Amino acid sequence: KESIINEKGVKIFCEYKMNYSKDLIDDKNAPEEISIKHSNSSFPTTYISNCLFQSPDITIVSHGGNMIVVEELLIDLLMEFEINANAVFPSIIKPLPLVDIEEGIKDASIVLVLEESPTAFGWSSEVIASLYETGALNEKKIIRLGAKEHPIPSATQLEEKVLPSKNDIIFLLKQELSF
């Protein structure tokens, strides 16, 4: 029997069960509306954009399973709302790759930090605090969204109700940005 560990290529194991059957976009299979680049750091950060990384209205910082949600969101933001957006996905969450995140948010006036756990005392709090301490936030508007304040269920159908969805993000952005 072959195990996935013995297969060639990068493997991502995540708890986000809704993504088990989905492929992450990469340079070879990205929709034409999406551009991808990577940092040169030891643990590369992935940057995706619906505006060729030029003049984003918003930049989303997230990690893990949210990448697939954000991939779909970037296309919808561009096509339905004409919003230019970038996204920053560190491949590690600790230590926080601040230089990569700072690079990803530098041109944005609005930063959404999206996480899979509830926002209280979570990853988004640490990202925002760290960026504030370095002066990278300047006068940027900061928004954050995470899972509902419940334990994340094991059943996929229940997990979908707790974790942030594309519709949750659009609803929040409509409230915050009045579009």
Q: What is the pLDDT averaged over residues 73-98?
A: 95
Confidence of residue 1 (pLDDT cuts 50, 70, 90): very low
Average confidence (pLDDT) over 126-148? 96
**Two tokens at 156?**
């996929």
For residues 176 and 179, give the distance between their C-alpha atoms in angstroms, rounded to a whole number.
9
- Mean pLDDT throughout 81-89? 97
The tokens for 37 are 């680049």
* E strands present in 34-103: 35-38, 46-49, 58-61, 85-89
Closest CA to 127 of 149, 154, 146: 146
What pLDDT shows up at residue 106? 96
Strand partners, 48: 36, 87
Nearest in space to 90 (alpha carbons), one of 106, 73, 113, 72: 113
**pLDDT, the chain, mean:** 88
- pTM across the whole model: 0.86
Give the tens place of pLDDT for each residue, 17-44: 555 556 666 777 788 899 999 999 999 9
